[in-house]
Amino acid sequence: MSLITLLRNSLGFTQNELRVVALLSAVMSAGLGIRWYRTNHPVPPDATPPFAYAALDSTFLALSRPADSVAAPETHAPREPVDINAAGIDDLVALPGIGPATAARIIEDRQNRGPYRSVDDLLRVKGIGPKKLARLRPLVRAGARALP
């Protein structure tokens, strides 16, 4: 009679439970073997020099500080508000969160429904919701004239 059959019959283990017991026994045996090896074969104190973490940290900090000569990155937002009634596709794409597809929808909506009376009219364009409008509000204005 094998050990597996004996365990199955006497303890009532299923096949999967026996596999788990075998795996746990193997892991425990490996751990005990590693512990025995480390206790019987100690590493001499001078075998591995300690790593100088402090020197590495100070080098990292010195390299990660921003340099005074590096200019701040330019934003893609225009300097003065864009007139949404006169803006072309390039002007609209320069706005944050507006890509070519949304810019084309703004122009198409403007041509189909007429000029925007206020910035809030941008909400009627698919792809512009309240959050995006809040980001765009300081960057755009609704001028009086529209492009033909």
Among residues 26, 27, 7, which one has the least CA distance to residue 17?
Answer: 7
The pTM for the full model equals: 0.47
Average pLDDT, the chain: 82
User: What tokens were used for 77?
Assistant: 């937002």
Average pLDDT over residues 36-54: 77
Structural domains for the chain: 3-40 (no CATH), 82-141 (1.10.150.320)
> In the structure, what pLDDT confidence band is assigned to residue 147 with cuts at 50, 70 and 90?
very low
pLDDT above 90: residue 51 = no
Q: In this structure, which amino acid lies at residue 1?
A: M
What percentage of the chain carries pLDDT values higher than 70?
81
* pLDDT above 90: residue 4: no
pLDDT at 30: 97
Q: How many CB atoms lie within 10 A of CB 87?
A: 23
Mean pLDDT for 11-25 is: 87
Q: Locate 49 and state its tokens.
A: 């020099």
Q: Which of 62-66, 112-116, 139-143 has the lowest mean pLDDT?
A: 62-66
Q: Measure the CA–CA gap between 42 and 36, rounded to whole angstroms.
A: 10
Please determine, for residue 139, whether its predicted confidence score (pLDDT) is greater than 70.
Answer: yes
User: Is it the case that residue 47 has pLDDT exceeding 90?
Assistant: no
Which amino acid, one-letter code, is at 142? A
